[in-house]
Amino acid sequence: MTIGTELARAVGDANVAPIAGEPAAWQVAPAAPAEIAEVVRLAQRHKIAVVPLGTGIRPSADRGPRVQIAMRRMDHVIHLDETSLLVHVQAGLTGMGLEKILVPRGLSIGDYPPAVLVSTLGGILAVRTPGKSSVRHGFFEDAVVGVSAVLGDGRTVHTRVAPRRSTGPDLARALCGSEGTIGVITGAVLRIHRKPEARFAIASILPSIDAAVSAVYLALREEAALAGVRIYDAAEARIHFANATPPLPAMSEGEALVVASTAGPTDLAACDRDLVASAVAAEGGRTADTRLAELWWRRIHAGEPTPVAGPTLQVTATPGKVRAVYRAVCTATAGSGGARAHVSRFDADGAVVFFTLAGGEAARATAETAAREAGGYLLGARATALDPYLIGLRAALDPHGIMNPNALRD
């Protein structure tokens, strides 16, 4: 029996297809964890790789004998627990797909960037990128209460659901961020939220980026629970709000625009907005038209188009390093046309600085070096010092080395 036939037996004829132009590569679309387990066992017998595939937005560089596991048929909500605000979903459902199910019930996955939620939930959890965060809810992984997966030996695991526990390490975290090397994530139990009772927005102009960063952290320290916050430098603000209604007020070089949004019970959301206002005042800022902040929020969360191409460089920095990273990249690229930036995706870990380099790709290497030297983390960074332990864990759970073997080895 050929591998193709065996795969067909596992997932059904209609759900297997050879990958064009390759002699030993198939895509399967299983409908249940048991089918994935069967595929994994089969791959183990034939010593071919197992590579999970979400929406396929990220192009795969994989070549060689392999089974690609497309998650598209596993897109069901298994259980919606409105009492505990938990949802058990299959990993092939996208964040947006889940949101469409939740919103009519007055629920929401939370204020995560929709750009993140276009991916499948399995993909969001399996691959770490710095944008998957919200000021109010934290890093997306913090919403995970349990994970289901098929390990390299075909064993199906479900980490059990509890709000918190003291029963050893958080085993779900071995699967999150592991890019399919520990197991294929087949489902997850996620914390969800009620739709907030009220939302407020606020826009302000601060005398400098430093003052803007200070104002944001001052508000967070006064415990303002923000739904979102973003800082634009003057150049970035002018481009993002060109022809905006209302128009962006005149900003001098060095000034910064801060937009923020709050959400929650009305009194508390209003309180949080006022905390931002007083933090801005304390840092020498002035208020701007609230509608600028509303426009920013609609662009991110309501699909209103942003008239600007995406940023060219993302750098994550811890709270104390945001200013230094910004300054370092601007200074380093000054000779090649400079850089403009906005700072967004704040959480306890820090924030992400999104640079657009005037010098384009030619300026990238200089900018990246400057960012790293200032203590920033580039997109795709990895703590390689712990690789021996990851290799040990992989070897224990995947002795044949078939689970997405090329991932996390760069």
Footprint (CB under 8 A) of another protein, residues 53-82: 81
Task: Find how far residue 128's CA is from the centre of its chain.
Answer: 7
For residues 54 and 338, which CB has a smaller minimum distance to another protein in the complex?
54
For residues 27 and 262, which CB has a smaller minimum distance to another protein in the complex?
262
The two structure tokens encoding residue 223: 């415990």
Which one of the spans 38-46, 91-99, 296-304, 348-356 is the region binding another protein (CB under 8 A)?
A: 348-356
The Cα–Cα gap between 239 and 184 comes to 42
The Cα–Cα gap between 23 and 89 comes to 35
The nearest distance, CB 127 to another protein, in angstroms, is: 7
For residues 38 and 237, which CB has a smaller minimum distance to another protein in the complex?
38
By CB under 8 A, is residue 210 in contact with another protein? no
Q: Name which of residues 174 to 203 contact another protein (CB under 8 A).
A: 174-179, 182, 191, 193-194, 196
Q: Name which of residues 223 to 282 contact another protein (CB under 8 A).
A: 223-225, 264-265, 267-268, 271-272, 274-275
Determine phi and psi for 23, rounding to 5 degrees: -75, -30
Q: Name which of residues 7 to 46 contact another protein (CB under 8 A).
A: none
- Strands 183-191, 86-90: parallel, antiparallel or unpaired by DSSP? antiparallel
The nearest distance, CB 81 to another protein, in angstroms, is: 5
Contact 407, 180 (CB under 8 A): yes
For residues 88 and 340, which CB has a smaller minimum distance to another protein in the complex?
88
Which one of the spans 126-134, 234-242, 245-253, 332-340 is the region binding another protein (CB under 8 A)?
A: 126-134
Amino acid at 159: T
Q: Name which of residues 303 to 322 contact another protein (CB under 8 A).
A: 316, 318-320
For residues 163 and 303, which CB has a smaller minimum distance to another protein in the complex?
163
Contact 176, 188 (CB under 8 A): no
The two structure tokens encoding residue 292: 């600028």
Determine phi and psi for 231, rounding to 5 degrees: -115, 130
By CB under 8 A, is residue 163 in contact with another protein? yes
By CB under 8 A, is residue 160 in contact with another protein? yes
The nearest distance, CB 2 to another protein, in angstroms, is: 31
What would the DSSP string read from start to end of 85-129? TEEEEETTSBHHHHHHHHGGGTEES-S--HHHHTSBHHHHHHS--
For residues 72 and 158, which CB has a smaller minimum distance to another protein in the complex?
158
The Cα–Cα gap between 259 and 282 comes to 16
By CB under 8 A, is residue 169 in contact with another protein? yes
Pick one of 209, 341, 397, 402: the residue that binds another protein (CB under 8 A).
397
Q: Name which of residues 127 to 146 contact another protein (CB under 8 A).
A: 127-130, 132-133, 139-141, 145
**Total chain residues near another protein (CB under 8 A):** 84
Distances (CA, A) of 235 to 99, 193, 201, 239, 242: 34, 36, 22, 7, 11
Contacts of 12 (CB under 8 A, 6+ apart): 31
By CB under 8 A, is residue 365 in contact with another protein? no
**Count, residues in the chain:** 410
Q: Name which of residues 85 to 124 contact another protein (CB under 8 A).
A: 85-86
Pick one of 63, 165, 287, 335: the residue that binds another protein (CB under 8 A).
165
